[in-house]
Each structure stands twice: as C-alpha cells, then as structure tokens.
Amino acid sequence: MSGPHIGVLALQGDVREHLAALRAVGAHAVPVRRHAELESVDALLLPGGESTTMSLLLRELELADPLRARLADGMPAYGSCAGMILLASEIADAGAEGRAALALAGIDMTVRRNAFGRQVDSFEGDIEFDGLDEPVHAVFIRAPWVERTGPGVQVLAEAAGHPVAVRQGPVLATSFHPEVTGDRRIHRLFVDIVTGQA
C-alpha cells in the first residue's frame, strides 16, 4: 500500500475501528504494542479507551518514554477521547498516584477527564469543525474537554463552551469518537497532516 505507515496504539480501546477508518482513507495502518513497532511507523493514533489503564500499560511495556521522545521529535499523532488526554501537557484530574494518567505533552493544553460526566451522561450531536464544510456528528463517551490551550494550539471545534478538537502542528486531538460514525473526514484530515497536505 502506498499510503503513510500509521500505527494505532493497541493496548486497549477502539483499536479495530481506528485501523479500519485509517485504511478506508488510504493509510497503511498497523497495531502498535512494542517499541520496535512504534519506531517503524510514520505517525501514531491513540484511540479512546480508559486513560489510566492505557497509561499503566504504556509504563509496563516501557513505551511511555519512547513515545514522549517521538512526539518531541515531531512525529504526527492523533488522539481521540482517552488519546486526547494522553496527548495533553497537563491533566487537571490525572488520578491517584501510581495509577495517574500520563501526560505525553504532544499538545500544549490542560485536559479534564470525564468532563462531560459519567457513562450515563454520554451524548452525541452535530458540531461545527473548522475547515470542514458540513458539521461533524460527534459521539461523546465519558469524554474529556480542554480547559487551557497554549499559544500554538488551534481550536477546531467546541461543545458546551469548551474546546473538543484541537491541533498543534502535526498533532491532532478530539474528545469525541469519529471512528464509530462512519464519517471518515477527521481520519482523512489526520492522513493529510501526516503527508504534509494539511
């Protein structure tokens, strides 16, 4: 396949759905669980799931520091929901010591976990997304929101008065789950970021 080689962090969460979405827009998408696999990809997608569980596994598999280093070196990345939390430079409610969610500092932002409420408060709706002609149907499941953005961060979408989609350079994050709707525009945007077309 001629498309960019994009990994999906395959520790927990919506891995299959993101792999399918990336492949549908022309990427060569592969699961990433090991350091060697991380080193072999052009970019990485961090899926939704449970941020503290994913953080624990990143530490156990000794992937946290290599991933932080690749992000610091400019590797393109996209995080949805829990992935957005992991890409933050600061987490407002990171959790208990030892089980705290990791802040990998891919985007200069402060994120609050489960900001929209618990599982029963999950919701969906159409939101305007900067750069897209039609609104995005966004599915929020125990979703975070962004409480602070640094000067280099572009806000792409908001809900309930808070940023829910942001970009800083080659790193993109959404608090919602585009992989579950069949709308591939955000995955296509990420591929375009990876290939330097956006």
What domains can you pick out in the chain, each with its CATH number?
5-194 (3.40.50.880)
Catalytic residue status for 39: no
Q: Which of 17, 18, 177, 187 is catalytic?
A: 177
Distances (CA, A) of 107 to 46, 61, 72, 102, 160: 13, 23, 10, 13, 21
Q: Which of 17, 18, 81, 187 is catalytic?
A: 81
- pLDDT tens track for 59-70: 999 999 999 999
Measuring CA to CA, which residue among 95, 94, 87 is closest to residue 168?
Answer: 87
pTM: 0.94
Distances (CA, A) of 81 to 1, 36, 50, 109: 28, 25, 9, 14
Q: Which two tokens stand for residue 20?
A: 């399918």
24's CB contacts (< 8 A; 6+ apart) are: 184, 187
Cα(137)–Cα(124) distance, rounded to whole angstroms? 7
Catalytic residue status for 177: yes
Q: What's the pLDDT band for 96 if we cut at 50, 70, 90?
A: low
As a whole number, mean pLDDT of residues 157-180 equals 96
Cβ-contact 34, 7 below 8 angstroms: no
Q: What is the mean pLDDT of the chain?
A: 93
Q: Which of 17, 18, 179, 187 is catalytic?
A: 179
Catalytic residue status for 81: yes
Inter-helix orientation angle 15-24/185-194, to 10°:
70
- pLDDT tens track for 119-153: 655 788 999 999 999 999 999 988 999 999 999 99
Q: Return the number of other C-beta atoms located less than 10 Å from residue 16's C-beta.
A: 13
Q: Is the pLDDT of residue 164 over 70?
A: yes
